């Protein structure tokens, strides 16, 4: 079974299934990010308190700037992603654990980027910094800037990070148009029901992002996630494509679907931001008949 969520304890790192992987080379990344406020994630969150040993992973550095783009959060090229990782001491043998203290969409986006570029040894810290602190674990404000200071050494020689782009995880606009027309995949809209009911991609089912989590911010159990998806008419052996407003929260559905045992998951990165602009004059499905069944 592939593990996607970590649960950390004071003196060790354990997967959700409690299999001990402490011998693995590991890098803990804090992906706290405030959209539209450069360095705010670093200055106002990471430096105020983070898990000891964590490094701040700046999502701004892997989100290309293009004011003319119809995609709100463009994806980096493979070379851009590899170059951004270089200061962190990460190679293809490193297990990466990501978390954040601002909003879970940030760590989920980071997880997705690693997976997209072929790094399968990546997990999300279940519940983020909030759950870590709620369980009485320590935080620190001692920081290392990986772009200015050398990071901790591993017990093996680092190799160049090899990009292995996983196109199965990504849907672009033209393919999304075809999917909407032919219904060749199951489409999940993770926006809030109010936005979904106003307009959405034809054939989409609404499973709001918030429904993926418990009240303490951790993912619902594998059984709960699986039941929720089945109760909303999804077939876990058929392809699922998720979208949101801009390509961040949809990454959460990819993680949740993985936990639930779905066979094929992808994310439409342009999401509603791109779709609504490129399909402005088209007729979208409306109405709430496909809103989430939370049971």
Residues known to be catalytic: 244
β-bridge mates for residue 242, sequence order: 188, 267
Token digits of residue 15: 């997967």
Partner residues linked to 186 by β-bridges: 240
Give me 60's structure tokens. Answer: 């701004």
Written as one string, the DSSP assignment of the chain is ----EEEEETTEEEETT--B-TTS-EEEEE----TTSTTHIIIIIGGG-B-TT-EE--GGGGS---TT-S-SSPPPPHHHHHHHHGGGT--TTPEEEEE-SS-HHHHHHHHHHHHHTT---EEEETTHHHHHHHTT---B-----TTTS-----SS---PPPP---GGGEE-HHHHHHHHHH--SEEEE-S-HHHHHH-B-TT-EE--GGGGB-TTSSBPPHHHHHHHHHHTT--TTS-EEEE-SSSSTHHHHHHHHHHHT-S-EEEESSHHHHHHHHTTTSPPB-SSTT-----
């Amino acid at each position: 079974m592939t593990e996607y969520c970590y649960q950390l304890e004071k003196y060790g790192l354990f997967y959700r299934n409690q299999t001990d992987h402490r011998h693995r080379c590991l890098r803990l990344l804090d992906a706290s990010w405030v959209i539209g406020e450069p360095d705010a994630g670093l200055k106002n969150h990471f430096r105020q308190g983070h898990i000891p040993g964590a490094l701040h992973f700046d999502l701004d550095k892997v989100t290309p700037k293009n004011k003319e783009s119809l995609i709100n959060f463009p994806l980096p090229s493979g070379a851009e992603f590899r170059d951004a990782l270089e200061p962190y001491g990460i190679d293809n043998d490193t297990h990466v654990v990501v978390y954040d203290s601002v909003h879970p969409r940030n760590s989920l986006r980071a997880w997705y980027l690693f997976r997209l570029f072929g790094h399968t040894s990546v997990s999300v810290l279940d519940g983020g910094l909030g759950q870590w602190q709620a369980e009485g674990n320590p935080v620190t404000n001692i920081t290392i800037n990986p772009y200015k200071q050398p990071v901790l050494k591993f017990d093996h020689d680092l190799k160049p990070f090899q990009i292995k782009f996983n196109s199965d995880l990504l849907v672009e606009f033209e393919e999304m148009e075809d999917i909407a027309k032919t219904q060749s995949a199951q489409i999940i809209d993770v926006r809030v029901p109010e936005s979904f009911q106003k307009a959405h991609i034809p054939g989409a089912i609404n499973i709001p992002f918030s429904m993926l989590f418990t009240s303490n911010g951790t993912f619902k159990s594998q059984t709960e996630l699986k039941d929720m998806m089945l109760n909303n008419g999804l077939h876990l052996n058929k392809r699922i494509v998720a979208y949101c407003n801009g390509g961040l929260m949809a990454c959460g559905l990819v993680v949740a679907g993985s936990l639930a045992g779905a066979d094929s998951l992808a994310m439409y990165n342009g999401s509603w931001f791109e779709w609504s602009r490129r399909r402005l004059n088209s007729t979208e499905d409306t109405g709430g008949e496909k809103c989430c069944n939370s049971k």
